[in-house]
Amino acid sequence: LGEGRRASTGACHWFGQKPRQPILRVVTESGDRVRATGDHPFWTPDGMKPLGSLVPGDRVALAPFRGVPYEAPSDAAIVSGEAFARKWAELQKGPGGNGLGQARAFLAGRGLLPLRYSSPALPYLCKVLGFVFGDGCIHFVGGTGKVVVTFCGEAPDLEAIRADLERVGLTPSRVYTRQRHHTIRTAYDEYQFDRQEDSFKVVGSGLAVLLACLGAPVGKKPAQDYGVPAWLEAAPLWHRRL
């Protein structure tokens, strides 16, 4: 556990009640099984109905999605060494010198450069990229020239992302926890609240520039326009889902 995080805690409040309806089991013709209380609503051709009112032979709606078929990706390159160098120069405002060479060698040694649709690391990077588009950010560390990728969210989710990064040979920091006090002023009132913030980061320009090559925005996301990366259009559907 990270510094300052509790290993266990007591319950402050507990709310519970015994089921007021019997617990029933639904078995469909397709073999799906669902356990629910008799008052639980099920979607039928006549709208939502409580389970207890259904009889054998009634039709109910299911969500049968189980994933998408696997499709072998091509060996086409998504990010070449040259494209990485161009993005590095764009972000660093210069050719990069030894830093660029070290970053390229670091990524190449982990199978991340050149990055292809068939690269074993790409499925993990798809998930990481999706998170950066949401609750992550890529920013420069003032005065150092280094670019840092930061991930914010719930601690269990962050640990899953850390595990994905480690699988592709990267070294994320531990999850940091801190208490934050926030004040929000609106036209109606001022609201204050305290919140625990969990985050971790990956220091070093290699991952940051690689994600930027894949289409991740760098800097303040609300202040810029960006869309779905074009390379995803040629990716298998399971890559796009990730």
239: left (phi over 0), alpha (psi -120 to 50) or beta: alpha
User: What residues contact residue 7 under an 8 Å CB cut-off, 6+ apart?
Assistant: 1
For 44-52, what is the mean pLDDT? 95
Q: What is the pLDDT at residue 27? A: 93
Q: What is the pLDDT at residue 66? A: 80
Q: What is the pLDDT at residue 93? A: 77
Span 100-118, pLDDT tens digits = 999 999 999 999 999 999 9
Q: What is the pLDDT at residue 165? A: 97
Span 49-88, pLDDT tens digits = 999 999 999 999 988 888 899 999 999 999 999 999 999 9
Confidence of residue 1 (pLDDT cuts 50, 70, 90): very low
Span 126-166, pLDDT tens digits = 999 999 999 999 998 766 667 899 999 999 999 999 999 99
Confidence of residue 4 (pLDDT cuts 50, 70, 90): low
DSSP strand pairing (41-44 vs 47-50)? antiparallel
Dist CA 218 CA 205 (whole Å) = 12
Burial of 177 from C-beta contacts in 10 A (0-12 / 13-18 / 19+): middle
Span 162-218, pLDDT tens digits = 999 999 999 999 999 999 898 999 989 999 989 899 999 999 899 999 999 999 999
Cite the beta strand spans of 141-237 per DSSP E. 147-153, 176-185, 190-203
pTM of the model: 0.73
What's the token pair of residue 201? 């980061």
153-156 contacts at long range (C-beta below 8 A, 24 or more positions apart): 153/198, 153/199, 154/198, 155/5, 155/198
CB of 122 closer than 8 Å to CB of 116: yes
Confidence of residue 8 (pLDDT cuts 50, 70, 90): confident
Confidence of residue 96 (pLDDT cuts 50, 70, 90): low
Is the pLDDT at 123 greater than 60? The verdict is yes
